[in-house]
Amino acid sequence: MRGWLILAGIAVLAIILPLVALGGYFVDIARLIGQIVLSIVLILAIVGTGLFGYICIRAQARKWGAGLFVVAALCVLAIYYVWIGHLPFL
């Protein structure tokens, strides 16, 4: 199974990297795909940390819950930065 994943990764890199090297249109598509994938990962992180933070607060572990909500807020800022290119109010 691991061999197939490595082979697929090499195939993707062999296709994507030359397209990115051509520049222009392909760079925009690669950036958009990267933004979408990173946003999905960050949204999953927000959901996970928010849910676990809520569980921690309900279990009287308020410091852990607050820390996880801070991580969720940082993920929101990261999504903003990925799409806009700068942080809000800066």
Say which amino acid occupies 78: A
Q: What is the pLDDT of residues 32-66, one digit of tens each?
A: 888 888 888 888 899 999 899 999 989 998 899 89
7-11, 25-29, 65-69: segment of lowest average pLDDT = 25-29
Cβ proximity of 71 and 50 under 8 Å: no
Asked whether the whole model's pTM tops 0.75, one would answer no
* Average pLDDT over the chain, rounded to an integer: 81
Say which amino acid occupies 66: A
Is residue 21 situated within a structural domain? no
For 89, phi and psi rounded to 5 degrees?
65, 15
The total number of structural domains in the chain stands at 1
- Domain range enclosing 53: 26-84
Longest Cα pair distance anywhere in the chain, in angstroms? 55
Dist CA 82 CA 54 (whole Å): 26
Is residue 34 situated within a structural domain? yes
Any idea of the CA torsion for 6, 18, 85, 37, to the nearest 10 degrees?
Answer: -30
Which of 72 and 89 is assigned the larger pLDDT?
A: 72
Cα of first residue to Cα of last residue in the chain, in angstroms, is 46
Is residue 14 situated within a structural domain? no
